[in-house]
Chains A and B, each alone.
Chain A
Amino acid sequence: MDEKRTAWERLQLVHTKGRPTIKDYIPQIFTDFYEMHGDRLCGDDKAILGGIGRLDGRPVTIIAQVKGRDINENKACNFAMPHPEGYRKALRLARQAEKFHRPIICFIDTPGAFCGVAAEERGQGEAIAKNIAEFMTLRTPIISIVLGEGGSGGALALGVCDELAMLENAEYSVLSPRGFASILWKDASREQEASEIMKITAEDMVRLGVAEAIIEEPLGGAHNDLDKISENIKEYLSQKIPEKCQKDIDVLLKERYTKFRKIGAFTE
């Protein structure tokens, strides 16, 4: 574990060129991976990758947001900003996982859901809402891992799970520090200040009860050692997945509901 870093420093690491993406991780962690495509309604969103494979021999469903490793890849996957069809693809695959009793592993890494005309026209809000609601009662274990950016509702749509893990430098927030500074202080340049106030780091998430585990990154960040970070992630999954699979599903669902139910600060 690196010595204490500020939120801003961690954010810079997350945006470092060469930080591994799901395309890097899959061959390292899973075997027999087959990618699935399409939402069976109208399209296939390249910002979300979904498929089935094996983790330690056990069939699992994998759903992830796709970051590109260069500008061309990023254009192709819309910089990991999904459209409604991406979320609907995710839901389709998740339901299939439920049917075939496969645990679901979600990899979150997105600046947020795409803000465009087509996205609004195809019901971006509804797609996210649907996923959040449906994932809450899927009768199969769900583990979500934030690899880099957990951008708001667009991330939460893959983030309703039995346990959430964050990579050490990853962040999870209701909006970007830049956006936050623009809206609250009318000054986007104060984003660094915003990133500290907002409490967006992995440690903040655990403290606030939003995340349950932090996955260590190699010294200097994940981009420095793909093998090591992949190993860490795999180790985490290899322990968590069997643990959740052994639980009684109704107990698991109650715990899943409670995980979110308990979050809130109020007085009566």
Chain B
Amino acid sequence: MFEGFFNVVKERFNGAEEEYKPPMFKCPRCTQTSPLSRYEELHRVCPKCNYHGRLSSQERIAITVDKDSFKELDGGMKSGNPLDFPDYSEKQAELQNKTGLNDAVITGTATIKGSPVVIGIMDSRFMMGSMGSVVGEKITRAFEYATDKGLPVVMFTASGGARMQEGIVSLMQMAKTSGAVKLHSDAGGLYISVMTDPTTGGVTASFASLGDIIIAEPKVLIGFAGRRVIEGTIKQRLPEDFQLAEFMHEKGFVDMIVERRKMRSVLSHLLKLHGFYPKEKEA
């Protein structure tokens, strides 16, 4: 009965010393440090000042939709070079290798606490999230698909503006995407736009601002013109909080500011308020 009973004594006694020094995160906004694990655990939100750091599209999907519910649409789409812009194709290939993304947006279907949605997530790691042919086409298709299937759309926007290398073709994507949003809306579709850091330029001036409900994460940059351009025009420094989500909220262009940790719940509640319940439970 007591065979090997005391083996554990030596194991326990000889167990290694534990060094416990957590890696630290230094916030670019408030410059204070916090344990990195805490920053990551909060999904890249500074525990001191609530600065909402940028998430990759994969991370965003992981914390927003139900596990294993995401099915990508048009995953293989890559941009051409409509203006024959020098080095554009090379630059794209380089970024595709580096980020694993084909372009600056991922679209697909998923469920959020059971409610089915069409979801799009822009990713600022790919050429600053700029909108070119692929972003335009994928988003347009996402809305057209949603119109066809009677699904709501949730779009996470993050962009520095239009893809300059595609010139006027990029500008036309604003019209293309907005058109698809309008048709979706006219068919009674729900569109929730979630503005993340940064949402600027041609994306702000097209589909991002067309949500029935517009949500922004705290302290993210939202605007049309770039800060430096404005400072150049008015020849004055702008206040710190200019073009932050809270500013836009105050001016009447954002419905609500939602913390990252609450986003999934809020989206779920809003979807249900619009009648989008999980398949098994009909309203």
At the interface, yes or no: B169 with Cβ under 8 Å from chain A?
yes
Asked if B174 contacts A156 (CB within 8 A), the reply is yes
Segment from A54-62, A92-100, A168-176 that makes contact with B: A168-176
Q: Are B167 and A260 in touch, CB under 8 angstroms?
A: no
**A184 proximal to B (CB < 8 A):** yes
Which residue on chain B has the smallest CB distance to residue A126? B209
Which residues of chain A (114-137) have a CB below 8 Å from chain B?
114-117, 119-126, 128-130, 132-134, 136-137
Chain B CB within 8 A of A226 CB = no
State which of A194-202, A213-221, A239-247 sits at the interface with chain B: A194-202
B interface residues, tally (CB under 8 Å): 61
In the complex, residue of chain A having the shortest beta-carbon distance to the beta carbon of B243: A120
B169 touches A133 (CB 8 A): no
Report chain B residues within 8 Å CB of A205. Answer: 168
How near does chain B come to A223, taking the closest CB pair, in angstroms?
25
- Chain B residues with CB under 8 A of A122: 251
Question: Known: A120-B230, A125-B205, A152-B171. Is A130-B210 also a contact (CB below 8 A)?
Answer: yes
Chain A residues with Cβ below 8 Å from B136 are: 264
Query: Does A204 make an interface contact (CB < 8 A)?
Result: yes
The CA of A156 and the CA of B131, in the complex, are separated in Å by: 15
Contact across chains for B176 and A264 when beta carbons are under 8 A apart: yes
B225 on the A face (CB < 8 A)? yes
From B12-20, B37-45, B79-87, the one touching the partner chain is B79-87
Quick one: closest B residue to A155, CB to CB?
Answer: B171
Closest beta carbon of chain A to B1's beta carbon, Å = 69
Neighbouring A residues of B252 by C-beta, 8 Å: 123
A119/B225 contact (C-beta < 8 A), A129-B178, A129-B208 known = yes
B112 interfacial by beta-carbon distance below 8 Å? no
* Complex contact B85–A210 (CB within 8 A): no
Asked whether A25 is an interface residue with its Cβ less than 8 Å from the other chain, the reply is no
Question: B183 to A137, Cβ gap below 8 A?
Answer: yes
Contact of B253 among A123, A160, A175, A266 (CB under 8 A): A123
Q: Is the CB of A136 within 8 A of B179?
A: yes
Asked if A183 lies at the interface with its beta carbon under 8 angstroms from chain B, I say yes
Query: Does B182 reach chain A (CB closer than 8 Å)?
Result: yes
Interface status of A8 (Cβ within 8 A of chain B): no
B169 touches A264 (CB 8 A): yes
B167 touches A133 (CB 8 A): no
Asked if A133 and B224 sit within 8 Å, CB to CB, the answer is no
A248 within 8 A of B: no
- Residue from A116, A125, A174, A266 within 8 A of B79 (CB atoms): A266
Least Cβ–Cβ distance between A144 and chain B, in angstroms: 11
Given contacts A115-B230, A119-B225, A136-B175, contact A129 B210 (CB under 8 A): yes
Contacts of B74 in A (CB 8 A): 268
Q: Which residues of B contact A (CB under 8 A)?
A: 74, 76-83, 85-86, 133-134, 136-137, 140, 162, 164-176, 178-183, 185-186, 201-202, 204-210, 223-226, 229-230, 233-234, 238, 242-243, 251-253
A129-B206, A268-B76 known; 15 other A-B pairs, CB under 8 Å?
A120-B230, A124-B225, A126-B253, A129-B207, A133-B181, A153-B201, A157-B205, A199-B83, A208-B168, A208-B169, A257-B179, A261-B140, A264-B169, A264-B173, A268-B77
